[in-house]
Amino acid sequence: MSSNISNPNRGTTAAPYGGALSATRLIGDPVVNRKGEKLGKIEDLVIHPQGFCIEYAVLSFGGFLGMGDKRFAVPLEAMQLSPEERKFILDVDKERLKNAPGFEKDKWPDTSDRAFGTAVYGFYGCSYTPHTH
């Protein structure tokens, strides 16, 4: 299932975000786990062309000066928004994230592939219902 910003499992949208959220406001925001360890940052949002809903956020993790960065597709409902601190909280251990379905920044997966969506959503314990937006 794709996410929308009003998902009640994601926390509130109070200041500093306020109201509806623009993609440019979210891109670049840090993602941490419950221990406070930095996991990466939001690099992009992938939007389904039929329902215009967000399929997933793209999280960058690792690398140095943009070299070797791995990307992860993460369903928004797998993260909690912390508007006060302007960050996302992803309840996954740093070591476990290394085994998440990922891709190189220049080699994106076929996002229409149901197996990819199922693997991504399943890894984070979310239900995946493709194209029913």
Beta bridge partners of 45: 57
> What span, in angstroms and rounded, lies between the C-alpha atoms of 91 and 110?
26
Q: What average pLDDT does the chain have?
A: 77
Beta bridge partners of 30: 41
| Banded model confidence at residue 111, pLDDT cuts 50, 70, 90 | confident
User: Where are the extended beta strands (E) located within 1-123?
Assistant: 30-32, 38-47, 54-61, 70-74, 79-82, 87-90, 102-104
pTM value is: 0.75
pLDDT at 73 over 70: yes
> What span, in angstroms and rounded, lies between the C-alpha atoms of 1 and 4?
10
pLDDT at 108 over 80: yes
Domains assigned to the chain? 8-123 (2.30.30.240)
